[in-house]
Structure 1
């Protein structure tokens, strides 16, 4: 299967949560400027326990290939934040 199928299904069916329900695990979101969809933090907070939201200076949909240094640094900072070692 292709990832295109997942996008097509979401476009048809949408992605909704029952009112007041969220995914209750610590969540980080890195928003890249060249990404196709760039949801505001307020939208993400309605669905996730958003602990970290980072506006990245560059990168896009394939950030792991385009700017791996930025992505890894943000993931490490989130891990430190979860452990209580934020620097």
Structure 2
């Protein structure tokens, strides 16, 4: 993303949905999804990501399997860092 307004819009979108998706922007034929890890103060301190071929990391698979599992893991790891879900 080279346009500042588009970048800010994408950052807001990611913040609202709770995950980031790289849809072949980094590497053609591959997708990556990331979710944040929070510390005791609620600050994002890290992220976990899943990277695979576009054929394997489909929208349906992301929605039904990958994202729920990653959000669960994010919550568990964040809890180890002292984060408590509101």
> What's the TM-score bracket when you normalise by the shorter of the two chains?
0.3 to 0.5
Q: Which has the larger radius of gyration?
A: 1
* Larger strand percent: 2
